[in-house]
Amino acid sequence: MIDKAKRAAQTKAYRTANKEKIAASQAIYRAENKKRAAETGKVWRENNPDYHTNYQRVNKEMMADYYHSRRTLKQGNGVFVISDRFMRNLYNSPCRFCEASEDITADHIIPIVKGGRHSEGNLQPLCRSCNSSKGVKLQIEWVSKKKG
């Protein structure tokens, strides 16, 4: 009998060497079994109603990045790769305006709806309160209104 570690290594090596073959086989299977896959997915979702909510709650930063990228792509502003390291630093930084360190969100200096890009140069850490008050204003408009 082959031990589990050796079998896992063999499987990984096979999958690495045969990516295209496996992908083609999976595509054929999915095409031939659409109804079965849809029914299986439906049953799974009924049995796990809170899965997506819990996943999103546990992975807040990743989900926020996903939604920002998706919105930017829909606007046609361009999406850039943002490193995990940059996002970790951003979420661990204090708010740029009130210096709060709790409930930090990623804010777009130039909002996506006004042509801003989802890129490292257009992101800043703001607490949820400051980010909500800023809304879709440009940073300069928001700062001038905030100062009075």
Do 121 and 85 have their domain in common?
A: yes
Is-above-0.75 flag for pTM?
no
Same domain, 81 and 124: yes
Instruction: Specify the pLDDT at position 127.
Output: 94
Backbone angles phi, psi at 134, to 5 degrees: -70, -40
113, 85: one domain: yes
Q: By percentage, how much of the chain surpasses pLDDT 90?
A: 59
Cβ count near 80 (within 10 Å): 13
Which ranges of the chain have pLDDT less than 70?
Answer: 1, 148
Give the Cα separation of 8 and 2 in Å (integer). 10
CATH number at residue 93: 1.10.30
Co-location of 97 and 122 in the same domain: yes
- Tally the domains of the chain: 2
Same domain? For 10 and 68 the reply is no
**CA distance to 38, 43, 46, per residue, from 64 (Å):** 28, 28, 26
* pLDDT tens readout for residues 64-105: 888 888 888 888 887 788 888 999 999 999 999 999 999 999
Q: Give dist(CA 100, CA 52) in Å, integer.
A: 29
Query: Would residue 27 count as lying in a domain?
Result: yes
Q: How many CB atoms lie within 10 A of CB 49?
A: 8
Do 100 and 137 belong to one domain?
yes
How, if at all, do strands 123-127 and 104-108 pair? antiparallel
- For residue 31, being part of any structural domain is answered with yes
Residue 54 lies in a domain: no
Domain enclosing residue 79, as ranges: 60-147
